[in-house]
Amino acid sequence: MIQDARDGKIDMILTKSISRFSRNTVDCLKYTRELKDLNIAVFFEKENINTLDAKGEVLMTIMAALAQQESESLSANVRLGIQFRNQQGKVQINHNRFLGYTKDEEGNLVIVPEEAKIVRRIYAEYMDGRSFLQIKRSLEKDRILNRAHNKRWHESNIRQILTNEKYIGDTLLQKTFTLNTLEKKRVANNGIAPKYYVEESHEAIIDRDVFLRVQAEISRRANILNGGKKRIYSSKYALSSIVFCGHCGDIFRRIKWNNRGCKSTVWRCVSRVLKKTSGIDCPAKTIREEDLQAAVLTAVNDTFNKKEEIIPILMEIIQDVINEDSQESLEKLDIKIKDLQVKLLEAGKEQKIIDEIGDKIITLRKEKHDIMTKAAKNIELQERINDMFSFLEEQTQAITEYSDTLVRRLIEKITIYDNKVVVEFKSGLQSEVEI
């Protein structure tokens, strides 16, 4: 509109009120003065002000300031209403691009079965070792549509689904907030305003222990570090990102060699490969892929041959895990949190009391989260041990061929030293193989 006025397309502007013309006094005066210089009048019907009149600007300045004050007051009331609703744990979620859920007639989140299958598939593929990129390609290959009904997926879509607490039935409120009343711009809430975590606000698609294990795996992949230098997670090969150097602790990388026409595949310490940039002259030796695979086979077969000794050890570990019951602790914490939530509602507008109670709730919820994370890890360990049991029982003879599938199933970490390879199994067992 202003540009049209500058281009001479407008003779006069009629508007309902000052508040409809501009959000604040400064903008209102800026544009009405510019229009006045162009000999274009702005007439405000509600206030009965014509900007080309002698008294127009004085009246408009007063009325614009009042309109801005009213707008700010209304916004403040809305913010207080939202904050109070959040404190009560009342959840409002935009489900339009939220895969797996829709809303019923009463506005409650309900699961969409077909979409929930896609969400569960994404979680399962990630726990099977696939990267965000591989999951994206897998979904596109099977022509599965995203929530926006597009064939194309993005790695960011996969990450958002894997880190969204709503899939376990919880909701984190006020992740973003309006920083400026006049600009109405929402920004990420990085601790400036309080956040509210509501548990069991709707039906879950993903089990809580699965979700916590996925968060731990995301963290593990994101923190493959050496000396503060990040190493990129790769899932192309089963041994990628699980083979480490016994000298400097960095990961080993798969490399294709072509030495005078003789081609081979080897694994080398990344610090040694990148010594010009890493500044570390690691003495770790290069190991041929077939030798590394042979060491893995030896470790697996050694474990199989000693299964009569190993099974009692695994049974003992499982018993320790079972004895560590966290349910009673969680129930006590839930009672404390509910009591504090009642006090929070009774606090009314006493901000000091609200803040104190809020801090206590946050502390208790962190304690609860830590217990649940530990419980999830115990469940995962139990599953890993049971998987080792299954392997030992179903295997009737020594394994003769290396298998990526077997490595992904059984092995957690491999450390390479000068004269030995240490293989750590997911069950917690270890095996040393001389090289």
- Taken in order of first residue, the domains within the chain and their CATH numbers are 2-87 (3.40.50.1390), 101-222 (3.90.1750.20), 286-434 (no CATH)
E strand or H helix at 197: strand 196-198
DSSP annotation of 287: E
- pLDDT (mean) for 86-109: 72
Nearby residues of 384 by Cβ (< 8 Å), 6 or more positions away: 426, 427, 428
Question: 7 phi and psi, to 5 degrees?
Answer: -85, 5
The amino acid present at 285, given as its one-letter code, is K
pLDDT tens across 108-124, in order?
889 999 999 999 999 99
Hey, which residues does 136 pair with through a beta bridge? none
Full-model pTM: 0.53
Q: What is the model's pLDDT at position 89?
A: 46
Between residues 97 and 163, the one the model is more confident about? 163
Which of 77-81, 281-285, 323-327 is predicted least confidently? 77-81
Between residues 374 and 147, the one the model is more confident about? 147
Q: What is the model's pLDDT at position 78?
A: 47
pLDDT tens across 13-51, in order?
888 876 677 666 556 667 777 887 888 888 878 777 787
Q: Are 211 and 167 in contact (CB under 8 A)?
A: yes
Confidence of residue 226 (pLDDT cuts 50, 70, 90): very low
Distance CA 159, CA 156 (A): 5
Q: At what angle do helices 351-394 and 307-323 cross, to 10 degrees?
A: 160
Q: What is the dihedral of CA 412, 415, 421, 422, to 10 degrees?
A: -50
Distance CA 150, CA 326 (A): 43
pLDDT tens across 246-264, in order?
998 888 999 988 777 788 8
Q: What is the model's pLDDT at position 268?
A: 93
Nearby residues of 427 by Cβ (< 8 Å), 6 or more positions away: 314, 317, 381, 384, 385, 387, 388, 410
Q: What is the model's pLDDT at position 276?
A: 76
pLDDT tens across 353-382, in order?
877 887 888 788 778 877 777 776 777 777
Q: Are 242 and 267 in contact (CB under 8 A)?
A: no
